[in-house]
Structure 1
């Protein structure tokens, strides 16, 4: 059935733009503000609607969101969320990241290393249980008791670790603890992806900007026992153009926000973390570009990493600008001052702001060694995981580090053992860069620098370890994993021995951070949450934690420098924007099919929905709970959304189902998927 004739009779909810409408909030599904939305929009979803949407929402463990859109486990997400899958399946002979991939049959769908799809099946409040475990404790003793109780709850909640995952999540900085139970699918395969240039048209200059012309969409499929999973509770695919002013919902897993941070925490971000991150990432980008220029092979092998670095840099630049904008920071300071004023009568509260300031001060002294004593690179990451896993598995479950408890081990093992390519030059460059930055920030004579480097230079050490390690081979990793601590300690692999050498110092630093910062933060965060609930009621949304959230908003442009930014672009705009030079060169599939493409089809659009990193791939759905797009970006103003939301400027950028359907039919044909999405 043709795209133009499908679902066009669906009723749409078109609403006038209202400046007073407050669309802020990444709400938990057990705390959706239905009354607030009803007051603003004249309608809000009921519990049956929320339950249906929750059952179809997918979290991808690679750090993105997604949704089931067919009864056979088909998953809609972003292209940039599966770029690593394309990259890991590519070779010099078959560059799937550059060329895209269409599986003409299901048995040709590509396995995605390290990927797992998860669906929330239950959310349970365990606040009293967790807080009761550390009542009266402080510092490291508090974090140990808290983590032990969390490990106990996670293990008890998910006895079938083959199909379930349990995760206790900290909300409101320690004010609440919720147990999230997931149905997981560990076999995820790629079904359809456009060319890289179709998804990245405009490149870094267009990133976090609008208008956009990006086909940032792809389809995965979840498998179990070698067969596609049955997903009768999927969302309905609705390939239509958005309507200006209509209500929209974004359902996904925003990664993390810092909107509940105090002024001392924000000062640490502005003065320490962000400057270090920007400086070091900028140098890494330069090193990588220089190396990629050496050969076509390195250009291909480094592209996925470069895309990630450039995206991160833009995010951190945006956050830095936000925290150096007096108007923005004055608003944050005023909000904190108001909360403090409202809380002065509560003597039992004490002064959590002062407690946090003291904890942040202690963390400042620990931050650089805590950050730089773990070198970068896939191979060192494998070694560190193997060493920690072997050490932690000798302990009772409640005494292990998070990530190595019984509930977490299956995913840790999957990520470690799934086969994927490792490029020695790239790993060596990443490791040498991180070691050089450690020496620069810690100082040549610092004991941690000496521990990291010994007598070698960063580049010499990286070259030696990467060239001599066997950890690129998953068979070697599997033997070390299964051999446990005896195999690790007996291993002659230099990367394993290096990770062993660093592990005790890393553990000591973690202990110091728990004692001086994490422990006090849990207590102060809980008190601040109590203060907020007392001052404003309990209808609040917590900071993002890469757990399932829902935001509501509307399709709406904004005003930029006196000019109205349109709410939508069309496929034809791609050709008008093209210059013939990268990154504004038209993808070959677009160029080859230009005369056949419906240039009036809606391409990308913007909404007022409140999102953050981790929401990438989230379904954008309408009042009828049908999918009309996939969120893939925010505008430049949304980068300050880590610390606060401005509904006049912050926008979510979405690729429309109208455009994806046109791509499936005309540009990168996938007739089987077209039938599947139509329900045939």
Structure 2
């Protein structure tokens, strides 16, 4: 599960009645510690988060900025989800080496594959800087002035925190601008692919099973962090060595039982728990359906070409997965927002808030206009929200050539600006500088062309362009369409297929060959006339306009900030947690079955028998590799079988996660890895907006299935040998210390077969 879109609301409503709700900042875990202990935790707060010594936080990484990973060996081995590593697996795949279909395993470090652009980020420390930021603000500021002041003081604080170091930092807003925290990170850029099962394991069940329970998906992949000889971040080099981490997670294969304590640590992307009833209605009626409609068509076009050609299937596998994931998410969210009566729940909170405000003159002076502001602002956004979705989904990120045109055109403009500066100066040093700049731009564009066109099918994109623009033109009222779209519709009489054919015949962006030919002798006149660049600029202008609602945006921002403050004041005895915003969080709860509807009960785990029950080798979503089938039929599970001789595959628990938590470790009461989170459940698809305490579940790969695939299916025993394997259940020993965990290796034992 990966959250591709982010909303701007940043707050949770209140301390939940159930311990499982809440995405808690590690710095503030002292507020929850007694409750965590009561539910089974055996670690101290310092063993979870410590700035001066190795702790759990030091084994958790932001993986590429969109997922989470965990360090599981003292040689920098990373475990994350298969779908998190999917883009890297795809980038190394070809029809000759189809790692998507066959999987990939490095049986020695020299076989590990480098990944340009991939990084992992470790949290060094976080700090509450609320008072320092608020001291720069006042109630007379407009929202624009407030945002500018926050940005300026945030940069000052970040610069101070990183001065003289190789770290990077940022100050993030919480509770919708009511609190602020500094985050300092260490970023590593040499990340190599180590192992991945075939997609028939890593994506077993495909779109059909996505967001569903029961699940039988081995959604994992493995990477490694490399550093220079001093353990510092460095660009890729053959001289780099595996990172020795401050902490890594031991792996416990004793199994999980119903009711076991679990924690998830990671980088959840965004939640909208503070969304008002007006926002919920807009989501149900307008936003979600618009996203689904555009992506329906996009997926249909991509799938048609992917089914016709193996090379195109590999080229577009990662792109298709990205589009598909949140296509189904919005289908489910719309359905469950209604089924779980989220509008009514939000309305009840607002009614209580209104009553509280009206009971005191000072409250009325401060908060009396808040609900009215929401009503007025949403009345305006409702008019244009669909147009905004189409500007993004069918416009700038619809046809691939549009975004490519925008980027290429603007980069070339820098080239021509440098050329003009070189002509106008007589200074030889400036001439040399501009010439070097021009050469660097051309070389950069050539390198980007290699990357872009490797995974590009012009015929597919031509078809996509015609379909996306036609849908945009038909569905959105003329007065909300970008000028370019209206002009094209008029010029081509609504026949966007005719427009797309001409575009791909004339634009230098239609192929790598034509682009490289242009770069040999670039002309500004050609650039200005190029239809692909014009499309990119036109669609980007529409996208920008859709995100600039001026006074309406300011009104919403202020209303949410005041509503947030008011709710916390109204419920002053509550321990609030902030909504997700891609910063490190911890959530805790228990393993547990659930009853999704009348007469239906879901057990807390699945087994390999379910893989065979779903098997259909005529359906690409449910293919079972022959070797895996052999192992399952022979029950050749080794030490990874449970006490009943079953091979557990996945399990569920009631921890609170969202997109960005994909790949997060599921940790037991002693700080040991027992699984990897990868999805949520269908019945609680409204959970990003309102946590459904009775039915919301995290779906995770059982680490026993992960290790079974690595060892028994792939034969990558070299990776198993790196890990510290624990076989004792939590109840059989006292709490471990971090020193015991990270500094000692388990004595080598023969694997039980």
TM over 0.5: yes
Structure 2 residue 629 is matched with structure 1 residue 588: no
Partner of 2:425: none
For 1:207-286, list aligned pairs within 5 A: 207-224=210-227, 225=234, 226=237, 227=240, 228-286=242-300
**Deviation of residue 320 (structure 1)?**
0.4
Say whether the 8 Å CA contact 1:428–1:462 is kept in structure 2: yes
**Deviation of residue 584 (structure 1)?**
2.7
For 1:3-152, list aligned pairs within 5 A: 21-32=18-29, 33-35=31-33, 37-38=35-36, 40-41=38-39, 43=41, 45-51=43-49, 52-61=55-64, 63-131=66-134, 133=136, 135=138, 136-152=140-156
For 1:319-334, list aligned pairs within 5 A: 319-325=333-339, 327-334=341-348
**Residue of structure 1 aligned with 2:330, choices 316, 329, 332:** 316
Partner of 2:705: 659
Structure 2 residue 396 is matched with structure 1 residue 375: yes
Partner of 1:3: none
**Residue of structure 2 aligned with 1:438, choices 438, 462, 472:** 472
Partner of 2:603: 566
Q: Helix, strand or coil for the counterpart of 2:122? A: strand
Partner of 2:741: none
Once the two structures are overlaid, the 10-residue window that deviates more, 487-496 or 669-678, is: 487-496
Alpha-carbon RMSD across the aligned residues, in angstroms, is: 3.6
Cα distance in 2 for residues equivalent to 1:64 and 1:676: 23
Cα distance in 2 for residues equivalent to 1:609 and 1:640: 15
Say whether the 8 Å CA contact 2:93–2:314 is kept in structure 1: no
Cα–Cα, structure 1 residues 470 and 448, in superposed 2: closer, same or farther, change >3 Å? closer
Structure 2 residue 577 is matched with structure 1 residue 548: no
**Deviation of residue 617 (structure 1)?**
0.5
**Deviation of residue 128 (structure 1)?**
4.2
TM-score, L = length of structure 2: 0.76
Cα–Cα, structure 1 residues 30 and 462, in superposed 2: closer, same or farther, change >3 Å? farther
For 1:628-667, list aligned pairs within 5 A: 628-667=674-713
TM-score, L = length of structure 1: 0.84
Q: Helix, strand or coil for the counterpart of 1:122? A: strand
Structure 2 residue 642 is matched with structure 1 residue 604: no
**Deviation of residue 229 (structure 1)?**
2.2
Once the two structures are overlaid, the 10-residue window that deviates more, 424-433 or 526-535, is: 424-433
Q: Helix, strand or coil for the counterpart of 1:334? A: helix
Cα distance in 2 for residues equivalent to 1:379 and 1:116: 27
Cα distance in 1 for residues equivalent to 2:503 and 2:135: 46
**Deviation of residue 318 (structure 1)?**
1.5
Cα distance in 1 for residues equivalent to 2:161 and 2:405: 30
Over residues 490-523 of structure 1, what are the superposed CA-to-partner deviations in whole Å (9 max), with x where a residue is unaligned?
A: 787654454345555655554x32x223322332
**Deviation of residue 525 (structure 1)?**
2.2
Over residues 619-647 of structure 1, what are the superposed CA-to-partner deviations in whole Å (9 max), with x where a residue is unaligned?
A: 00001111110001112123111111222
Over residues 79-125 of structure 1, what are the superposed CA-to-partner deviations in whole Å (9 max), with x where a residue is unaligned?
A: 11111111111112221111111012223222334322111112233
Q: Which has the larger radius of gyration?
A: 2
Cα distance in 2 for residues equivalent to 1:48 and 1:360: 44
Say whether the 8 Å CA contact 1:488–1:496 is kept in structure 2: no
Cα–Cα, structure 1 residues 238 and 532, in superposed 2: closer, same or farther, change >3 Å? same
**Residue of structure 2 aligned with 1:520, choices 527, 550, 555:** 555
For 1:355-366, list aligned pairs within 5 A: 355-366=373-384
Cα–Cα, structure 1 residues 256 and 294, in superposed 2: closer, same or farther, change >3 Å? same
Cα–Cα, structure 1 residues 307 and 115, in superposed 2: closer, same or farther, change >3 Å? same
Over residues 328-369 of structure 1, what are the superposed CA-to-partner deviations in whole Å (9 max), with x where a residue is unaligned?
A: 432232233223333432132332222233223333344344
Partner of 2:564: 529
Say whether the 8 Å CA contact 1:270–1:320 is kept in structure 2: yes
Say whether the 8 Å CA contact 1:125–1:179 is kept in structure 2: yes
Cα distance in 2 for residues equivalent to 1:580 and 1:505: 45
Once the two structures are overlaid, the 10-residue window that deviates more, 650-659 or 486-495, is: 486-495
**Deviation of residue 388 (structure 1)?**
6.8
**Deviation of residue 466 (structure 1)?**
5.5
Cα distance in 2 for residues equivalent to 1:188 and 1:464: 42
Alignment gaps of 5+ in structure 1:
1-18, 395-411
Say whether the 8 Å CA contact 2:473–2:485 is kept in structure 1: no
**Residue of structure 2 aligned with 1:450, choices 484, 493, 501:** 484
Cα–Cα, structure 1 residues 38 and 292, in superposed 2: closer, same or farther, change >3 Å? closer
Cα–Cα, structure 1 residues 430 and 624, in superposed 2: closer, same or farther, change >3 Å? farther
Paired positions, count: 636
Cα–Cα, structure 1 residues 571 and 383, in superposed 2: closer, same or farther, change >3 Å? same
Say whether the 8 Å CA contact 1:25–1:610 is kept in structure 2: yes
Cα distance in 2 for residues equivalent to 1:60 and 1:144: 30
Alignment gaps of 5+ in structure 2:
1-15, 50-54, 228-233, 418-443, 725-744, 749-753
**Residue of structure 2 aligned with 1:671, choices 717, 726, 730:** 717
